[in-house]
Every structure is written in C-alpha cells, then in structure tokens.
Amino acid sequence: MRLPLSLLLVFGCKAVLGSLGDRASLSATAPVLDDEEKYASYMPAHLRCDACRAVAYQMGQHLARAEAKSPDSSDLQELSESIYTDVLDQTCSQKWQSYGVQEVNQMKRLMGPGLSKGTEPPISVMITGGPWPNRLSMTCFQYLGEFGEDQIYEAYRQGHETLEALLCGGTQGSCSPENPREEL
C-alpha cells in the first residue's frame, strides 16, 4: 500500500547572474523517504526532536491565544484548569497540515511553524500530508499523557524554553544528548 503524499514546492528566490540578466537554473528534488518514513504509524526516531519542538511551539501558541482571549487579558491572566485542558486537547487534535519533511544538507528534517530553518537552499521541496499530521497529533497526545496538562501548563507559564525543556529535554527526551541528531 502506498500513501499519497502531496508535494509543496518552496521557492526561496530566483538567482540572477551577471549584468546581462542571465538566469541560473534552479532545480530541486523531493526527499526520498524510506519505508519507515512512508509507512510507520509512529514518528521515526531521527525526526522526534523536530516533532517535539513543533508540539511545544503549537502548545505555546494555542495557550497564548487562549490567555489573550481571557476577560482580563491585560495581565495575561492564568487560565482555569478546564480551559487549559481543553486548549491542549484542541492543540493535539488540530490538522497539523503546515508541517512536512524536507531534505536539508542531505538530512531529512521536519519543517513547519516554530522549527528553525537555518540556512536553506534557494529552492527546496517539502513533503506534507500523508502520515505527518497523524504522527504529530499522536506525539502531542503522548506528551499530554506522559506529563499531564497541569505540568505542561505550569511549564508554559514559565516560558517557551521551560516548556520545550520539559517535553524534549531530560535524559530520555527526544532532544537530549543521549538521542543525538545533527543541528541545521
């Protein structure tokens, strides 16, 4: 069984060379996914740190929007337990369509909002859809089950770095030194 994967071409810029306006040709190829990346129901190990960082970013964004909507938003008043529990559940239930896999420096990386892109080639291809939204949703719900809404919200209230450290750091965390991966 093959999963259909939609391709999103990301054009960075057109290169114009010389004073005569000669245009350089740009080309890009889609990342070649292995069987685990195509068919596994779980997030492949080499993408788990990126996935964790994406989840932490989305949780922070959703909680910040909820606090901004609170009645006394001048102080970003603390949310009630029922509200932040609902917000975190909605975060994990979102569509996750803006995330996908891109090859950067011969390494496949998860890309999307909240993930640093570093130096990118002028043109690249990102594969979105397929298994990635479901994997990100499952990853998000795993963190809710592992840490609980109360601990996640408390970490969020201390700042994004604290939230990301809670979810992704520690000796067993997806981004810990024991789980190395190359940085961009």
Mean pLDDT of the residues in the chain = 82
Residue 27: inside a domain, yes or no?
A: no
Report the C-alpha gap between 140 and 58 in whole angstroms: 9
Domain span at 130: 6-12+35-168
Q: What is the 3-state secondary structure (H, E, C) of 28-77?
A: CCCCCCCHHHHHCCCCCHHHHHHHHHHHHHHHHHHHHHHHHHCCCCCCCC
Spatial CB neighbours of 114, under 8 Å, sequence gap ≥ 6: 53, 54, 56, 57, 58, 61
Amino acid occupying residue 163? L
Report the C-alpha gap between 157 and 176 in whole angstroms: 22
Residue 18: inside a domain, yes or no?
A: no
Residue 29: inside a domain, yes or no?
A: no
> What pLDDT is stored for residue 128 in this prediction?
86
b/e string for 95-115 if b means 16 or more Cβ within 10 A? ebebbbbbbbeeebbbbbebb
Give tens-digit pLDDT for 154-174: 999 999 999 999 999 988 899
Give tens-digit pLDDT for 16-57: 334 444 566 777 778 889 999 999 999 999 999 999 999 999
Residue 114's pLDDT band (cuts 50, 70, 90): very high
Residue 74: inside a domain, yes or no?
A: yes
Residue 181: inside a domain, yes or no?
A: no
Cα separations in angstroms, 23 against 14, 18, 79, 166: 8, 9, 54, 48
Give tens-digit pLDDT for 59-112: 999 999 999 987 665 566 799 999 999 999 999 999 999 999 998 878 899 999
Q: What pTM does this model have?
A: 0.79
- For residue 129, is pLDDT > 80? yes
- For residue 152, is pLDDT > 70? yes
